Structure 1
């Protein structure tokens, strides 16, 4: 298990194992969230295993900016946090400050700013 107090470099085998565990746990979180969060569409994660777990970010994507705003005004942010924390626990990732690894976005904003090109949008997010 790792902590976010010090980044760890994972070898190729450990990185692949962690990616499988994390993907499964986040898929479960995504399916749990769909009926709980109106307008929620999907989630993804960004990670550089050379700086793990510090580089790990989970992006919750809503259909519209209004859906995102409603989620953030209500208890949606807390639900996203709890589901992310549960996914990290299931993947055996220890992170002290879940909020530092949590982002939210919308399909509408990606279309407006990046013409719907999520690969480009996420690459920009990963650099920041």
Structure 2
């Protein structure tokens, strides 16, 4: 991993940690989130997976997607297709 990639990854982790804390405060079955990225195709390859104990409603999904997108944009990280880059899954 190049030095710039490491800095980007640290920024992404920091942003997503903040998002995670906000989502946990809101409840709605949120458990945790994680991300994957291939820095050779950044930011198009960035995916964020949000894990819930039950599948969230479409409204909750949109709120979470908007929150992630806006927080990343504040750090100059733009999701090309947020609806495809923010994923939701259920884990009990």
Equivalent in the alignment of 1:93: 77
| Correspondence 1:21 to 2:5 | no
> Structure 2: which 5+ runs fail to align?
none
Q: Distance in 1 between matches of 2:29 and 2:20?
A: 12
TM-score by length of 1: 0.65
Specify every segment of 5 or more residues in structure 1 that has no aligned partner in the other structure, as ranges.
1-10, 109-128
SS of alignment partner, residue 44 of structure 2: coil
Taking structure 2 as the reference length, the TM-score comes to 0.88
Bigger strand share? 2
Of residues 60, 72, 78 in structure 2, which corresponds to 1:76? 60
Distance 2:74 2:13 in 1: 10
Q: Flag as ranges the 4+ runs of structure 1 deviating above 6 A.
A: none
2:32 to 12, 21, 42: 42
Q: Deviations over 1:58-94 (max 9, x none)?
A: 000012xxx21xx224x20111111111231133212
What RMSD over aligned residues (CA atoms) do the two structures have, in Å?
1.5
The count of aligned residue pairs is 92
Higher helix share: 1
Match of 1:12 in 2: 2
CA distance in 1, matches of 2:52, 2:70: 20
* Equivalent residues of 1:45, 1:58 under 8 A apart: yes
Alpha-carbon displacement from aligned partner over 1:28-87 (angstroms, at most 9, x marks no partner): 011111122411000000101111111100000012xxx21xx224x2011111111123
Is the CA contact 2:33–2:48 (under 8 Å) kept in the aligned structure 1? yes
Please tell me whether Structure 1 or Structure 2 has the larger radius of gyration of its CA atoms: 1
